[in-house]
Chains A and B, each alone.
Chain A
Protein backbone atom coordinates (compact mmCIF):
# COMPACT_ATOMS: atom_id res chain seq x y z
CA UNK A 1 0.00 0.00 0.00
CA UNK A 2 1.80 3.08 -1.29
CA UNK A 3 0.61 5.87 1.01
CA UNK A 4 2.78 8.53 -0.65
CA UNK A 5 3.01 8.57 -4.43
CA UNK A 6 5.09 10.50 -6.89
CA UNK A 7 3.59 9.55 -10.23
CA UNK A 8 6.21 11.20 -12.43
CA UNK A 9 9.44 9.18 -12.45
CA UNK A 10 11.29 11.96 -14.23
CA UNK A 11 11.05 15.62 -15.23
CA UNK A 12 13.21 17.56 -17.66
CA UNK A 13 13.32 21.37 -17.51
CA UNK A 14 15.30 24.15 -19.16
CA UNK A 15 17.53 26.31 -16.97
CA UNK A 16 15.69 29.40 -15.74
CA UNK A 17 12.25 27.86 -16.11
CA UNK A 18 9.97 26.58 -13.36
CA UNK A 19 10.17 22.98 -12.13
CA UNK A 20 7.00 21.54 -10.60
CA UNK A 21 7.21 18.24 -8.77
CA UNK A 22 4.02 16.60 -7.58
CA UNK A 23 3.13 14.25 -4.74
CA UNK A 24 -0.12 12.60 -3.65
CA UNK A 25 -0.91 10.90 -0.36
CA UNK A 26 -3.72 8.70 0.89
CA UNK A 27 -3.33 8.70 4.68
CA UNK A 28 -5.41 11.52 6.19
CA UNK A 29 -3.45 11.16 9.45
CA UNK A 30 -0.35 12.65 7.84
CA UNK A 31 0.30 16.01 9.43
CA UNK A 32 3.67 17.14 8.18
CA UNK A 33 5.21 16.97 4.75
CA UNK A 34 8.80 17.29 3.63
CA UNK A 35 10.81 17.37 0.44
CA UNK A 36 14.27 15.86 0.23
CA UNK A 37 16.86 16.08 -2.51
CA UNK A 38 19.27 13.23 -3.18
CA UNK A 39 22.44 13.20 -5.25
CA UNK A 40 24.07 9.90 -6.24
CA UNK A 41 26.23 8.35 -3.50
CA UNK A 42 24.85 10.78 -0.91
CA UNK A 43 22.06 10.56 1.63
CA UNK A 44 18.84 12.58 1.21
CA UNK A 45 19.18 16.21 2.28
CA UNK A 46 16.27 18.21 3.64
CA UNK A 47 14.92 20.88 1.33
CA UNK A 48 11.68 22.33 2.64
CA UNK A 49 8.66 21.27 4.70
CA UNK A 50 5.09 22.25 5.41
CA UNK A 51 2.68 21.62 8.25
CA UNK A 52 -0.90 20.63 7.51
CA UNK A 53 -2.14 23.90 9.04
CA UNK A 54 -0.56 25.82 6.17
CA UNK A 55 -1.13 25.75 2.44
CA UNK A 56 2.14 27.33 1.32
CA UNK A 57 5.70 27.61 2.53
CA UNK A 58 8.45 29.46 0.73
CA UNK A 59 12.22 29.36 1.09
CA UNK A 60 14.18 31.23 -1.55
CA UNK A 61 13.68 29.56 -4.92
CA UNK A 62 11.67 26.71 -3.37
CA UNK A 63 7.95 26.82 -2.58
CA UNK A 64 5.80 23.95 -1.36
CA UNK A 65 2.03 24.03 -1.80
CA UNK A 66 -0.35 21.77 0.12
CA UNK A 67 -3.93 21.01 -0.89
CA UNK A 68 -5.34 18.97 1.99
CA UNK A 69 -8.73 18.35 0.42
CA UNK A 70 -7.06 16.84 -2.63
CA UNK A 71 -4.33 15.17 -0.55
CA UNK A 72 -1.80 16.70 -2.91
CA UNK A 73 1.36 18.69 -2.53
CA UNK A 74 3.77 20.18 -5.01
CA UNK A 75 7.26 21.63 -4.99
CA UNK A 76 8.00 24.60 -7.21
CA UNK A 77 11.56 25.57 -8.06
CA UNK A 78 11.96 28.97 -9.68
CA UNK A 79 14.24 29.59 -11.46
CA UNK A 80 15.61 26.09 -12.02
CA UNK A 81 19.39 25.69 -12.13
CA UNK A 82 21.54 22.81 -13.45
CA UNK A 83 22.73 22.18 -9.87
CA UNK A 84 19.13 21.31 -8.98
CA UNK A 85 19.43 18.12 -11.02
CA UNK A 86 18.86 15.31 -8.51
CA UNK A 87 16.24 12.87 -7.27
CA UNK A 88 13.50 14.57 -5.27
CA UNK A 89 11.56 12.67 -2.64
CA UNK A 90 8.32 13.70 -1.04
CA UNK A 91 7.85 12.41 2.53
CA UNK A 92 5.08 12.55 5.11
CA UNK A 93 4.82 12.11 8.85
CA UNK A 94 1.90 11.66 11.22
CA UNK A 95 0.60 14.06 13.86
CA UNK A 96 1.53 14.04 17.54
CA UNK A 97 0.21 10.99 19.35
CA UNK A 98 -0.11 8.94 16.21
CA UNK A 99 1.92 5.86 15.46
CA UNK A 100 3.66 7.49 12.51
CA UNK A 101 4.73 10.61 14.40
CA UNK A 102 8.40 11.23 13.82
CA UNK A 103 8.67 8.50 11.17
CA UNK A 104 8.81 9.32 7.50
CA UNK A 105 6.88 7.67 4.67
CA UNK A 106 8.53 8.42 1.35
CA UNK A 107 7.32 8.53 -2.23
CA UNK A 108 9.22 6.76 -5.01
CA UNK A 109 11.08 9.88 -6.10
CA UNK A 110 11.22 12.03 -9.23
CA UNK A 111 14.45 12.48 -11.18
CA UNK A 112 14.78 16.16 -12.10
CA UNK A 113 17.14 17.13 -14.91
CA UNK A 114 17.75 20.82 -15.53
CA UNK A 115 19.37 21.49 -18.91
CA UNK A 116 21.67 24.50 -19.39
Chain B
Protein backbone atom coordinates (compact mmCIF):
# COMPACT_ATOMS: atom_id res chain seq x y z
CA UNK B 1 0.00 0.00 0.00
CA UNK B 2 1.59 3.25 -1.12
CA UNK B 3 1.28 6.40 0.94
CA UNK B 4 0.69 9.97 -0.15
CA UNK B 5 3.40 11.41 -2.38
CA UNK B 6 3.90 15.13 -2.94
CA UNK B 7 6.11 16.92 -5.44
CA UNK B 8 8.23 18.90 -5.49
CA UNK B 9 9.58 18.80 -1.93
CA UNK B 10 10.90 22.35 -2.06
CA UNK B 11 10.65 25.27 -4.43
CA UNK B 12 11.32 28.97 -4.55
CA UNK B 13 9.13 31.36 -6.50
CA UNK B 14 9.06 35.10 -7.05
CA UNK B 15 6.18 37.26 -5.91
CA UNK B 16 3.52 37.50 -8.63
CA UNK B 17 4.38 34.14 -10.20
CA UNK B 18 2.16 31.09 -10.37
CA UNK B 19 2.89 27.65 -8.86
CA UNK B 20 1.48 24.14 -9.20
CA UNK B 21 1.94 21.54 -6.49
CA UNK B 22 1.15 17.86 -7.02
CA UNK B 23 -0.14 15.04 -4.87
CA UNK B 24 -0.67 11.32 -5.43
CA UNK B 25 -3.27 9.81 -3.11
CA UNK B 26 -2.88 6.68 -1.06
CA UNK B 27 -4.19 3.61 -2.85
CA UNK B 28 -7.92 3.13 -2.19
CA UNK B 29 -8.56 6.72 -1.12
CA UNK B 30 -10.99 8.84 -3.16
CA UNK B 31 -10.78 12.22 -1.44
CA UNK B 32 -7.96 14.73 -1.33
CA UNK B 33 -7.60 17.69 1.00
CA UNK B 34 -5.00 20.43 0.93
CA UNK B 35 -3.67 22.28 3.97
CA UNK B 36 -1.33 25.24 4.40
CA UNK B 37 0.99 25.24 7.39
CA UNK B 38 2.70 28.55 8.09
CA UNK B 39 5.76 28.60 10.31
CA UNK B 40 4.85 27.97 13.95
CA UNK B 41 1.19 27.33 13.16
CA UNK B 42 -1.02 24.32 12.69
CA UNK B 43 -2.18 23.23 9.24
CA UNK B 44 -5.08 25.27 7.85
CA UNK B 45 -7.69 23.69 5.58
CA UNK B 46 -7.60 25.09 2.03
CA UNK B 47 -10.08 22.85 0.19
CA UNK B 48 -11.12 19.28 -0.43
CA UNK B 49 -11.82 17.41 -3.67
CA UNK B 50 -14.08 14.43 -4.21
CA UNK B 51 -15.13 13.02 -7.58
CA UNK B 52 -13.09 15.73 -9.28
CA UNK B 53 -15.16 18.50 -7.71
CA UNK B 54 -14.45 20.88 -4.87
CA UNK B 55 -16.20 19.68 -1.73
CA UNK B 56 -15.66 22.43 0.79
CA UNK B 57 -13.26 25.33 1.04
CA UNK B 58 -11.54 27.11 3.88
CA UNK B 59 -10.86 30.83 4.18
CA UNK B 60 -8.57 31.15 1.17
CA UNK B 61 -8.94 33.53 -1.81
CA UNK B 62 -9.90 32.31 -5.31
CA UNK B 63 -6.30 32.52 -6.49
CA UNK B 64 -5.93 29.20 -4.67
CA UNK B 65 -7.47 26.58 -6.92
CA UNK B 66 -7.27 22.85 -7.34
CA UNK B 67 -7.91 19.88 -9.52
CA UNK B 68 -8.55 16.22 -8.87
CA UNK B 69 -7.98 13.67 -11.60
CA UNK B 70 -9.80 10.38 -12.30
CA UNK B 71 -6.95 8.47 -10.63
CA UNK B 72 -7.59 10.61 -7.50
CA UNK B 73 -4.29 12.47 -7.79
CA UNK B 74 -4.54 16.20 -7.29
CA UNK B 75 -2.97 19.59 -7.99
CA UNK B 76 -2.96 22.79 -6.00
CA UNK B 77 -2.47 25.95 -8.05
CA UNK B 78 -1.70 29.33 -6.59
CA UNK B 79 -1.74 32.43 -8.82
CA UNK B 80 -0.22 35.85 -8.17
CA UNK B 81 1.99 34.59 -5.38
CA UNK B 82 2.41 36.77 -2.30
CA UNK B 83 5.15 36.68 0.31
CA UNK B 84 2.63 35.37 2.88
CA UNK B 85 2.04 32.29 0.71
CA UNK B 86 5.41 31.00 1.92
CA UNK B 87 4.49 27.87 3.88
CA UNK B 88 4.47 24.09 3.95
CA UNK B 89 1.63 22.75 1.79
CA UNK B 90 0.28 19.41 2.90
CA UNK B 91 -1.89 17.04 0.95
CA UNK B 92 -4.02 14.45 2.75
CA UNK B 93 -5.99 11.62 1.21
CA UNK B 94 -8.89 9.76 2.77
CA UNK B 95 -12.16 8.06 2.04
CA UNK B 96 -15.03 10.47 1.40
CA UNK B 97 -16.60 12.03 4.49
CA UNK B 98 -14.38 10.07 6.83
CA UNK B 99 -13.55 11.81 10.08
CA UNK B 100 -10.52 9.64 10.47
CA UNK B 101 -8.02 7.76 8.37
CA UNK B 102 -6.38 10.81 6.83
CA UNK B 103 -2.96 10.05 5.41
CA UNK B 104 -0.73 13.07 4.96
CA UNK B 105 2.13 13.52 2.57
CA UNK B 106 5.44 15.04 3.66
CA UNK B 107 4.52 18.35 2.10
CA UNK B 108 5.95 20.89 -0.31
CA UNK B 109 7.92 23.75 1.21
CA UNK B 110 7.14 26.88 -0.85
CA UNK B 111 9.23 30.00 -0.42
CA UNK B 112 8.08 33.20 -2.12
CA UNK B 113 10.73 35.90 -2.48
Report A's interface with B, CB cutoff 8 A.
4, 6, 31-32, 34, 36, 41-46, 49, 89, 91, 93, 96, 99-109
Docked-complex contact A106 and B42, CB < 8 angstroms: yes
Docked-complex contact A103 and B45, CB < 8 angstroms: yes
Given A105-B45, A109-B42, 6 more A-B residue pairs with CB atoms under 8 Å apart are A44-B104, A89-B42, A99-B56, A102-B99, A103-B33, A103-B58
User: Given A108-B40, A108-B42 in contact, is the A102-B105 Cβ separation under 8 Å?
Assistant: no
Q: Give the 10 A-B CB pairs with smallest separation, nearest first.
A: A43-B104, A106-B42, A32-B99, A102-B97, A93-B99, A43-B106, A106-B43, A44-B104, A108-B42, A43-B105
Which residues on B sit within 8 Å (CB–CB) of A91? 42
| Residues B1-48 near A (CB distance < 8 A) | 4, 31, 33, 35, 40-45, 48
Nearest-neighbour CB distance to chain B for A105, whole angstroms, equals 7
User: Given A43-B4, A43-B90, A99-B56 in contact, is the A104-B40 Cβ separation under 8 Å?
Assistant: no
User: Given A32-B100, A49-B100 in contact, is the A104-B41 Cβ separation under 8 Å?
Assistant: no
Docked-complex contact A102 and B48, CB < 8 angstroms: yes
Which residues on B sit within 8 Å (CB–CB) of A108? 40-42
The answer, yes or no, to whether B66 is at the interface (CB within 8 Å) is no
Count residues of B near A (Cβ-Cβ below 8 Å).
28
- Give the nearest-CB partner of B4 in chain A: A43
Which residues on B sit within 8 Å (CB–CB) of A105? 45
Nearest-neighbour CB distance to chain B for A75, whole angstroms, equals 15
Docked-complex contact A45 and B45, CB < 8 angstroms: no
Nearest-neighbour CB distance to chain A for B34, whole angstroms, equals 11
User: Given A43-B4, A44-B90, A93-B99 in contact, is the A104-B43 Cβ separation under 8 Å?
Assistant: yes
Separation of A43 and B5 alpha carbons in the complex (Å): 10
The 22 sampled A-B contact pairs (Cβ below 8 Å) are A4-B42, A34-B99, A34-B100, A41-B106, A43-B4, A43-B90, A43-B107, A45-B104, A46-B100, A46-B102, A49-B99, A89-B42, A91-B42, A101-B97, A102-B48, A102-B94, A102-B96, A102-B99, A103-B48, A103-B58, A106-B42, A109-B41
